[in-house]
């Protein structure tokens, strides 16, 4: 158990819908990262927040957005869902802003299925 | 754009044998990470390599980093079935981890 929690574990929804994925980082970690894992794209970095502020963006679609709240939990919002958005979404956390000095610790993931 | 290539992508090996997984990356970085993922599970951190020449060992796994060659290796010694999993290397690009496609390892009796 990495100490990173994610809810829900599974999510089934329809195309065009909007969902919210939630992540709580390890105690003491200020950075939260979101990754998408799919068979065709592999593991892709989406976005990073550090202490409430957006720090970096990766291959995140405009239909997706995220935020980090004062208690450091983070939410990833996915809207106008398409079949291709079906994937495993991981949240990771680290104590520093860039994971420079240690690993990023991954949560259990949310498996999203868009029908 | 930083590219991370792992090979092989699939590896079937017998218990007791040794093998090496390679991770090449395209631009300068002195921070490389190895993760393990079991089917349907999350990623577990195995090694953090933070400098040229770094070598770390845990049980039957040993990882090394050559930043000049832009190469990391994950060496498996005397494989056992419990090591069956997918292994990812990831290179830090300045703001995020860039992952390789993973090496699916199957250890058979």
pLDDT given at position A43: 94
Q: What is the pLDDT along chain B (109 residues), one digit of tens a residue?
A: 789 999 999 999 999 999 999 999 998 887 899 999 999 899 999 999 988 888 999 999 999 999 999 999 999 999 999 999 999 999 988 778 899 999 999 999 8
The whole-angstrom distance between B100's CA and the closest CA on chain A is: 8
For an interface test with A, which of B30, B35, B42, B93 has the most A Cβ atoms less than 10 Å from its Cβ? B42
Sign of CA dihedral A35, A17, A13, A9: positive
Residue of chain B nearest A47, judged by CA positions: B96
| Residue of A55, A104, A107 with shortest CB distance to B97 | A104
pLDDT given at position A100: 54
**A61-112 pLDDT per residue, tens:** 999 999 999 999 999 999 999 999 999 999 999 887 655 566 789 999 999 9
B96 touches chain A (CB under 8 A): yes
CB B96 within 8 A of CB A102: no
Instruction: Count chain A–chain B contacts defined by CB atoms under 8 A.
Output: 52
pLDDT given at position A97: 64
3-state secondary structure of A83: helix
Q: Cα(B92)–Cα(A100) distance, rounded to whole angstroms? A: 8
Q: Which of A90, A105, A102 is nearest to A58 (CA)?
A: A90
3-state secondary structure of B2: coil
B87 touches chain A (CB under 8 A): no
| Residue of A45, A108, A109 with shortest CB distance to B96 | A45
**A24-53 pLDDT per residue, tens:** 999 999 999 999 999 888 999 999 999 999
pLDDT given at position A16: 97
> Which residues in A have their CB inside 8 Å of a CB on B?
2, 33, 42-45, 48, 55-56, 58, 90, 92, 98-109
B41 touches chain A (CB under 8 A): yes
pLDDT given at position A66: 97
């Amino acid at each position: 158990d990495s100490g990173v929690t994610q809810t829900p574990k599974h999510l089934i929804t329809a195309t065009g819908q909007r969902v919210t994925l939630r992540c709580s980082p390890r105690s003491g970690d200020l950075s939260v990262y979101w990754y998408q894992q799919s068979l065709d794209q592999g593991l892709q970095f989406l976005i990073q927040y550090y202490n409430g502020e957006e720090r970096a963006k990766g291959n995140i679609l405009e239909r997706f957005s995220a935020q980090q709240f004062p208690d450091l939990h983070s939410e990833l919002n996915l809207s106008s869902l398409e079949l291709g958005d079906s994937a495993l979404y991981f949240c990771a956390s680290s104590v520093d802003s860039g994971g420079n000095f240690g690993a990023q610790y991954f949560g259990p993931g949310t498996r999203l299925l868009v029908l | 754009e930083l590219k991370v290539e792992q090979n092989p992508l699939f590896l079937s090996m017998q218990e007791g044998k040794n093998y090496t997984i390679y991770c090449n990356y395209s631009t300068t970085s002195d921070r490389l990470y190895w993760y393990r993922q079991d089917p349907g599970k999350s990623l577990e951190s195995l090694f953090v390599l933070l400098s040229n020449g770094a070598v770390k060992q845990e049980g039957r796994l040993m990882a090394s980093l050559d930043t000049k060659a832009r190469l990391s290796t994950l060496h498996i010694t005397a494989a056992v079935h419990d090591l069956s999993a997918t292994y990812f290397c990831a290179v830090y690009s300045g703001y995020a981890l860039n992952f390789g496609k993973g090496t699916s390892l199957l250890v058979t009796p």
